[in-house]
Chains A and B, each alone.
Chain A
Amino acid sequence: AQKVTQAQTEISVVEKEDVTLDCVYETRDTTYYLFWYKQPPSGELVFLIRRNSFDEQNEISGRYSWNFQKSTSSFNFTITASQVVDSAVYFCAGGTYKYIFGTGTRLKVLA
């Protein structure tokens, strides 16, 4: 069975600080996908990034970057120069056709 662990329940940062959200995805599958979603107060889950299990390169897209290490099952997500609009709950998820979600990390960016 798969398991997604987001150990950070809530993080508060001051605007313009960098923040890293941690995720551990455990599975016996050899091929899978990992995702980060953002859920603002409005409630809609917004897709942010996807990563294949066989690709361990770090990637950057705008203010977002992510780091997948298969050996430690970690899939961390960094927001550079955080903004107040980044305040939301962030979910890590993994799977192939159906997703297993973590419990989320609430990010508060203070002005």
Chain B
Amino acid sequence: DTGVSQNPRHKITKRGQNVTFRCDPISEHNRLYWYRQTLGQGPEFLTYFQNEAQLEKSRLLSDRFSAERPKGSFSTLEIQRTEQGDSAMYLCASSLSEVAKNIQYFGAGTRLSVL
């Protein structure tokens, strides 16, 4: 078990470009979460999946953001037409859905810088 893996670790892009991040959860975990963390703040919930179904999206997730988990394994988070305000650390976490075991384990994150 290698933990939650996120790629790339860093991404620098110009305003208006599209970017895509990937998250590979812990293999037996059926839940996958995306959070965003800005400097000096705690992570903020964006969305989560149970298997391939996206069950909730935060209102922080504008129409420019889309997340998928097509086969219930890895997930991608795409940001279209990036803005400078999108600069942040994007964190992925995974867990089991069983309540007694629903501890979320986080990846190292993808740091996005929009110039």
A97 CA / B50 CA spacing, docked (Å): 11
Are A103 and B103 CB-contacts (below 8 A) given A43-B89, A43-B109, A97-B48? Answer: no
The reply on A64 being an interface residue by CB < 8 A is: no
A52 CA / B46 CA spacing, docked (Å): 24
Q: Is the CB of A91 within 8 A of B42?
A: yes
Are A45 and B103 CB-contacts (below 8 A) given A97-B48, A98-B33, A98-B56? Answer: no
Partner of B107, one of A44, A91, A99: A44
A95 CA / B63 CA spacing, docked (Å): 26
A43 neighbours in B (Cβ, 8 Å) = 89, 108-109, 111
Question: Using a Cβ cutoff of 8 Å, how many contacts connect chains A and B?
Answer: 47
Q: Is the CB of B107 within 8 A of A103?
A: no
Are A45 and B33 CB-contacts (below 8 A) given A4-B42, A99-B45, A102-B42? Answer: no
The reply on A93 being an interface residue by CB < 8 A is: yes
Min distance, Cβ A90 to any Cβ of chain B, angstroms = 10
SS of B interface (majority): strand
Taking residues whose C-beta sits less than 8 angstroms from the other chain, chain A's interface range is: 20 to 34
Query: Which residue of chain B has its CB nearest to the CB of A42?
Result: B108
Give A28-75 interface residues, CB cut-off 8 Å to B.
33, 35, 37, 42-47, 50
| 8 sampled A-B residue pairs with Cβ under 8 A | A4-B42, A43-B109, A43-B111, A44-B108, A97-B31, A98-B33, A102-B42, A103-B42
Residues of A within 8 A of B (CB): 4, 33, 35, 37, 42-47, 50, 91, 93, 97-104
Known contacts A43-B108, A104-B41; 16 additional CB pairs below 8 A are A4-B42, A37-B106, A43-B111, A44-B109, A45-B93, A47-B103, A47-B104, A47-B105, A47-B106, A50-B103, A93-B42, A97-B31, A98-B48, A101-B42, A103-B40, A104-B42
